């Protein structure tokens, strides 16, 4: 039996908790069967964005004629792109491991709770008064139906592949599915994106996702409002029959149908930790579970499934466990971005959410094509929507445009600082920049306020 001051289950963003608590002199057990760093640097954000950057360069050459530039794309060395991506991300494990002090003991086997204060890891039993659960989530696979037995890829497989097929069908048009489809399309791979619902990114603003769907449909085969009814394989190809009586034949199918929290193998039933409807760990305002002394953070709690949110939760837990922060955790406005072309960035609530909550609001939409930067980008689909209370308090924003992942932080910061629409409307915006899109939206919205 091994005693520690703290046990951390998961070496993704919770690595910071283990590392910084150990620096106080506490003894820490860090349990991570996979590579340190977790999903983001190895099978998520970082490799996908690196590959999307390659795809954007290739797409720019193919579409150069729109700017009066005659160019020919001779070939793409996709294997090199993948190799260089992995060469960038793989050293994360060694970099993080080198930071661990002697106060941290790293365990490489899965953990299972024996009771509230004891965990079994391989042949060892670990005991601690405080535990942080940060075991993350994994890509969801179908347990039944036509795709249950198909040898399909998930994002994990895509982002660790040594080569890509010549054609793919991506099933699911949430953020992961849309990004993977855009990446494949940009790299010249024949791509079909299949979505059961009527639009992509169903949780985002309806007007802007309609516009994004139109932009995607110009570059790839977008199938909305349909799902796979049957599948068959022959001669290295997969045939998907859809319930709209159409069919798709590709070399590889990629499932992007959500993620499942890794709570099913932790033995949490031996503790008072409670799970939500979809298996996520329930935590209070201090990120503590129903089991005293057991905290949770990251994807496994199902709040904000973004690296920047998990980083904020880790910073809070470090301070809270050190005893230097006694206030509840407040995430504040959490930006969310889908990195396609054009990228969709958002913060706050959508009109659909406000309607469901019966909250009175005003909204305004400004098209990107009305400003110089939009014309320069040849972007006919981009737009910005802002939402506020009749008093002017900002409630949310969605921006579909180049540079939107950066521009959204203007609104996020304004919401954090309680600046209202009138403050943004009275600000000066550099001409001719993308920020003029935000200017148009805030001034249009300001005109509707009480």
Does 206 score more than 80 pLDDT?
yes
Round the average pLDDT of the chain to a whole number and report it.
97
Q: CA dihedral in degrees (244, 246, 248, 254; nearest 10)?
A: 0
Output DSSP code: residue 281: B
Integer Cα distance of 286 and 292 in angstroms: 11
Integer Cα distance of 308 and 298 in angstroms: 10
Integer Cα distance of 420 and 394 in angstroms: 6
Residue 396, strand partner residues: 348, 387
- Residue-wise over 295-316: b if at least 16 C-beta within 10 A, else e? bbbbbbbbbbbbbbbbbbbbbb
Which SS3 state, helix, strand or coil, does residue 427 take?
A: coil
What's the pTM value of the predicted model, to 2 decimals?
A: 0.95
pLDDT one-digit tens code per residue, 326-335: 899 999 999 9
Kindly state the average pLDDT of the residues 215-229. 97
Closest among 137, 114, 131, 119 to 301, alpha carbons compared: 137
Kind plus residue range of the DSSP H or E element containing 280: none
Residue 394, strand partner residues: 388
Does 325 score more than 90 pLDDT?
no
Tell me whether strands 336-338 and 344-348 are parallel, antiparallel or unpaired: antiparallel
Tell me whether strands 2-9 and 124-133 are parallel, antiparallel or unpaired: parallel
Q: Given pLDDT bands bounded at 50, 70 and 90, which one contains residue 238?
A: very high
Distant-in-sequence, close-in-space partners of 322: CB < 8 Å, separation ≥ 6: 21, 24
Closest among 329, 325, 348, 335 to 283, alpha carbons compared: 329
- Structural contact between residues 345 and 337, judged by C-beta atoms closer than 8 angstroms: yes
Tell me whether strands 247-250 and 2-9 are parallel, antiparallel or unpaired: unpaired
Does 102 score more than 90 pLDDT?
yes
Tell me whether strands 137-139 and 124-133 are parallel, antiparallel or unpaired: unpaired
Longest CA–CA separation in the chain, Å = 71
Kindly state the average pLDDT of the residues 352-371. 97
Q: Given pLDDT bands bounded at 50, 70 and 90, which one contains residue 450?
A: confident
pLDDT one-digit tens code per residue, 173-195: 999 999 999 999 999 999 999 99
User: What's the pLDDT at 382?
Assistant: 98
Distant-in-sequence, close-in-space partners of 339: CB < 8 Å, separation ≥ 6: 48, 49, 52, 179, 182, 405
Edge to edge, the sheet with strand 237-242 lists 228-234, 237-242, 247-250
Does 301 score more than 80 pLDDT?
yes
- Cα 62–chain centre separation: 28
String of DSSP letters for 21-35: HHTTT--EEEE-SS-
On the question of a cis peptide bond just before residue 342, with omega within 30 degrees of 0, the verdict is yes
**Percent over 70 (pLDDT), the chain:** 100
Output DSSP code: residue 63: T
- Structural contact between residues 190 and 250, judged by C-beta atoms closer than 8 angstroms: yes
Q: Supply 144's token pair.
A: 């039944």
Q: Supply 253's token pair.
A: 């199918």
- The number of residues in the chain equals 450
Phi and psi torsions of 212, nearest 5°: -65, -40
Q: Given pLDDT bands bounded at 50, 70 and 90, which one contains residue 149?
A: confident
Residue 326 has a CB neighbour count (10 Å cut-off) of 8
Does 287 score more than 80 pLDDT?
yes
């Amino acid at each position: 039996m091994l005693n520690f001051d703290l046990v951390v289950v998961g070496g993704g963003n919770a690595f910071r908790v283990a590392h910084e608590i150990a620096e106080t002199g506490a003894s820490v057990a860090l349990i991570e069967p996979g590579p340190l760093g977790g999903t983001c640097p190895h099978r998520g954000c970082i490799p996908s964005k690196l590959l999307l950057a390659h795809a954007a360069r290739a797409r720019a050459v193919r579409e150069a004629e729109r700017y009066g530039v005659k160019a020919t794309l001779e070939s793409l060395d996709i294997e090199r792109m993948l190799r260089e991506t992995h060469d960038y991300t793989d050293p994360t494990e060694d970099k993080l491991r080198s930071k661990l002090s002697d106060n941290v003991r790293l365990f490489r086997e899965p953990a299972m709770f024996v009771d509230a204060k004891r965990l079994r890891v391989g042949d060892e039993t670990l005991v601690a008064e405080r535990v942080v659960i940060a075991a993350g989530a994994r890509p969801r696979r179908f347990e039944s139906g036509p795709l249950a037995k198909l040898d399909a890829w998930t994002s994990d497989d895509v982002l660790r592949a040594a080569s890509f097929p010549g054609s793919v069908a991506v099933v699911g048009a949430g953020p992961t599915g849309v990004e993977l489809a855009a990446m494949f399309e940009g790299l010249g791979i024949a791509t079909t994106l299949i979505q059961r619902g009527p639009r992509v990114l169903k949780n985002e603003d309806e007007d802007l996702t309609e516009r994004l769907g139109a932009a995607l449909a110009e570059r790839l085969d977008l199938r909305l409002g349909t799902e796979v009814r049957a599948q068959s394989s022959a001669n290295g190809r997969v045939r998907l029959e859809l319930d709209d009586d159409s069919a798709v034949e590709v070399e590889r199918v990629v499932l992007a149908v959500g993620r499942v929290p890794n709570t099913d193998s932790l033995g949490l039933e031996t503790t008072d930790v409670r799970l939500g409807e979809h298996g996520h760990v329930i935590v209070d305002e201090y990120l503590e579970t129903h089991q005293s002394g057991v905290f949770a953070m990251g994807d496994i709690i199902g709040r904000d499934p973004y690296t920047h949110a998990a980083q904020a939760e880790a910073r809070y837990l470090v301070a809270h466990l050190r005893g230097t922060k006694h206030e509840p955790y407040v995430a504040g406005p959490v930006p969310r971005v889908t990195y396609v072309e054009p990228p969709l960035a958002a913060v706050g609530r959508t009109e659909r959410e406000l309607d469901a909550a019966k909250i009175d609001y005003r909204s305004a939409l400004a098209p990107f094509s009305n400003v110089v930067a939009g014309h320069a980008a040849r972007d006919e689909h981009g737009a910005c929507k802002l939402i506020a209370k009749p008093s002017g308090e900002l409630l949310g924003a969605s921006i579909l445009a180049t540079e939107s992942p950066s521009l959204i932080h203007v609104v996020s910061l304004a919401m954090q600082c309680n600046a209202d629409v009138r403050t943004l409307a009275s600000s000066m915006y550099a001409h001719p920049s993308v920020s003029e899109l935000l200017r148009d939206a805030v001034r249009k919205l300001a005109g509707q306020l009480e």
